[in-house]
Structures are given as C-alpha cells and as structure tokens.
Amino acid sequence: MIIKGVLNLRGSSIESLREITEINGNLFLTDSSIISLGKLKKVGGDISCWDCSNLISLGNLEKVGKQIKLWGCKNLTSLGKLEYVGKYLLIRGSGITKEYILRNHNKLYAQCRWDLG
C-alpha cells in the first residue's frame, strides 16, 4: 500500500504501519504508540518521531528523502535496513550511538546529529 501524501499519527494508539510500503510525503509519529513500521521501505519527505518510546527499530525502512528526527526515542537501538537519508539523521536521546552507526551504517555517519535541538 502506498500513501500518496502525508501520514500524521501524532498521539495515535496505532502500533504498526502493517502493509504500508511507501509514503510520498512526511510521516509524523510524535507521541504515538508505534512499535513497528511494518513493511515501510520509503518515505519521500521527513519522518518526525519524538518520544516514541515503544519503537526499537526502523525495521525495513531503506530510504528517507529528507530528514529523520528521532528525538527522545530512548528504546530505539536499531536503524534496521536504513541506507539513505536525504538530509540529516537527528537522533538525540535515542539508543543509537556513534559506535553503532560506524559499525552498522557507516555511510550515514556524516549525516548524523546527536546534539541538535
């Protein structure tokens, strides 16, 4: 399933994106109960995920056209299959460390920001 615009799940109790494979616009998950991105592989715009404490991995997500904001996602410890981010990967307050990026997603290191806010 493809979402041709924006998907806004701010404050939602939805736990999984299940069959959604692509979102052409932005994805907003701030303060949601999201646990899994399901089959999601591509987001054309930004991903905003602040304080998503149930999310532990980005799973099948491979490409984000602009930037990803993963602020305060303290249990997030895996970027899954992520290969491309168009701008920045903002990961302040998450479980993603510099060592993890260098070991598992080295080509994304230059785009990572742990201190922007």
Domain map (residue ranges) of the chain: 1-117
User: 11-37: per-residue pLDDT in tens?
Assistant: 999 999 999 999 999 999 999 999 999
C-alpha span between 63 and 80 (Å, rounded):
11
Contact between residue 14 and residue 35 where contact means Cβ atoms under 8 Å apart: no
pLDDT band per the 50, 70, 90 thresholds, residue 68: very high
* Mean pLDDT, rounded, of the chain: 93
> Amino acid letter at 83?
E
Q: How many CB atoms are located within 10 Å of the residue 24 CB?
A: 15
**What is the arithmetic mean of pLDDT over 100-114?**
92
User: How high is the pLDDT of residue 50?
Assistant: 87
DSSP 8-state symbol, 72: T
